[in-house]
Amino acid sequence: MAARVYIETTVPSAHVTARTDPGSLYRRAATRDWWAKQLPRYECLTSDGVVLELRAGDWPGQNDAIELVDVLPRLDIDEEVLGVAARYVEERLVPADLDGDAMHLAVACVHAVSFLLTWNIRHLANPNKLDHLTVINRRLGLLTPQIVTPEMLWQDDAP
């Protein structure tokens, strides 16, 4: 059985970015490489929250980003997820926006995925926050997924 991976907003955004700074170019190339070579190795999932974030505003590549995730199964955002997201905000784990980082973490934790795939280093894939998240999740009886970037979640072919 393939590991379950929750793909949050920054990944499809990086896949289609029109930015030309070196960091954005690197993330775009790494994301496209992962999408082409690694996505089929996992059970990849997203949520309506990701789609709503991608639909916000008007930006280059927006429709392409939405198309990338439209084919992925969606995890529910129910009362439990919203309650866990609120707890993450109360515990000052993430900024006070239930529709953003708190919701992505809550979806991944409540639905017990193996990995949360993100380019958000500040609030999600931040090793300094992992212990805090794990303590909160233990109190709530939840498992903590590995929070990784596309470059970290790579399976090589057998030698």
Nearest one of 86, 85, 68 to 8, comparing CA atoms: 68
What is the pLDDT at residue 99?
A: 77
Contact 80, 71 (CB under 8 A): no
Give φ, ψ of 132 to 5 degrees: -60, -45
* Distance, CA of 93 to CA of 129 (rounded, Å): 7
Q: Would you tell me which CATH number, out of the four given (2.60.40.10, 3.90.76.10, 3.30.70.2470, 3.40.50.1010), belongs to the domain 4-148?
A: 3.40.50.1010
Q: Which residue has the tokens 């239930």?
A: 98
What is the pLDDT at residue 123?
A: 84
Structure tokens belonging to residue 92: 């000052």
* Distance, CA of 29 to CA of 155 (rounded, Å): 17
The mean pLDDT of 29-49, rounded to a whole number, is: 97
The mean pLDDT of 86-97, rounded to a whole number, is: 91
Q: How confident is the model at residue 96 (pLDDT cuts 50, 70, 90)?
A: confident
Ramachandran region, residue 45 (left: φ > 0; alpha: ψ -120 to 50; beta: rest): beta
Whether the predicted pLDDT of 15 surpasses 70:
yes
